[in-house]
Structure 1
């Protein structure tokens, strides 16, 4: 029997990006379905999160994600532009957020078509892979095409159905919290959460206990 799990994931999360090669390898090696369910990042859900955290939190996180990428041979650079408009000196989140709403709604459109994992994988490699102005030109359209999607149709749906898409994205967040966590990336299998790119091997171990088979 093919097992399945939900992945809760954000376009702004560097650890979500770093998890993708492991998730890809999991899909390649095992008979499993991974349902990627996009959520809005903490900057949207809790705008004061960065101001409340320790002053060292942001600089440590940047240092940590870059060394994880280096250790695993992943090409990674800080996004340009950042999917979240934020003053990095004051940590204040701008009320104007054109990128993250667009990206997350597009991710949910892709989820409706069963292609959210492929779309998120392709787009995250633009955002975190050093592509400058990834939001302009044909970058996103070409990423969607590589994921087997029609970008023009996706954009139209994202514009026309934004309130319903936001409801579905909020439902994803509620499902994440019901599953026992709040952050991303989190894989939930059989009502058990596995948070972080460093817990994927643990999730595989648990799934093998429940009958996970190699392809």
Structure 2
């Protein structure tokens, strides 16, 4: 029996990136289907989030993500450009956001095709894996090909169906909160949330109790 789980995920979340290749590996190893559910980053959902947090929060997060990446031997570099335009010194989020809306809508279009996880994996490897100018040239187009998708098709849908896709993303955000959390990455299995890249093994343990089997 194929078990099913939802993963709530954002393109701006470094922890989402650190978790994604392991989510993919789970679907390859186990009889498991993961439904990728894209949400907008906290910078969009709650623009004051960074200003309200403790001053040490951002510095610790940067230290931690690079430490985790080194520990797990996963390439990690500050994104260039950042999917969210933000003044790091003041933590102020810019009103003009040229990347995150298109990215997230294309991700949701990929999810409509059952390829959301694959698209998230390939694109996050560009953004967080050290590819400078990931939004230029054919980087995204090639990432889409590796995910089994056509970037031009995704982009056209993202532009033509922006409101519908945003409604689906908003529904994802509501479902994430209804499941008992608000952050990403969060894997939800049978209504139980497992937040963070460091809870994947715990989620597998729970799924094994429910009959998770290797392929």
TM interval, short-chain normalised: over 0.9
Q: Does 1:149 align with 2:149?
A: yes
Give the drift of 1:25.
Answer: 2.0
Tell me the equivalent position of 1:80: 80
Count of aligned residue pairs for this structure pair? 215
Within 1, Cα distance between the matches of 2:69 and 2:139? Answer: 23
Q: Residue 24 of structure 2 contacts residue 117 of structure 2 at CA under 8 Å; is this kept in 1? A: no
Give the drift of 1:28.
Answer: 1.8
Give the drift of 1:113.
Answer: 0.5
Give the drift of 1:137.
Answer: 1.0
Tell me the equivalent position of 1:188: 188
Within 2, Cα distance between the matches of 1:157 and 1:196? Answer: 30
Tell me the equivalent position of 1:16: 16
User: Is the partner of 1:214 in helix, strand or coil?
Assistant: coil
Q: Does 1:43 align with 2:13?
A: no
Within 2, Cα distance between the matches of 1:57 and 1:205? Answer: 30
Within 2, Cα distance between the matches of 1:147 and 1:189? Answer: 24
User: What CA RMSD, in Å, does the superposition of the two structures yield over aligned residues?
Assistant: 0.6
Q: Could you list the per-position Cα deviations for residues 81-138 of structure 1 after superposition, in whole angstroms to 9, with x for gaps in the alignment?
A: 0000000010000010110101100000001100000001000000001111101111
Tell me the equivalent position of 1:95: 95
Within 1, Cα distance between the matches of 2:81 and 2:171? Answer: 28
TM-score by length of 1: 0.99
TM-score by length of 2: 0.99
Q: Could you list the per-position Cα deviations for residues 19-75 of structure 1 after superposition, in whole angstroms to 9, with x for gaps in the alignment?
A: 012212211211100111110000000000000001110010000000000000001
List 4+ stretches of structure 1 deviating above 4 A: none
Q: Could you list the per-position Cα deviations for residues 186-205 of structure 1 after superposition, in whole angstroms to 9, with x for gaps in the alignment?
A: 00000000000000000000
Within 2, Cα distance between the matches of 1:23 and 1:64? Answer: 20
User: Is the partner of 1:75 in helix, strand or coil?
Assistant: coil
Within 2, Cα distance between the matches of 1:64 and 1:81? Answer: 21
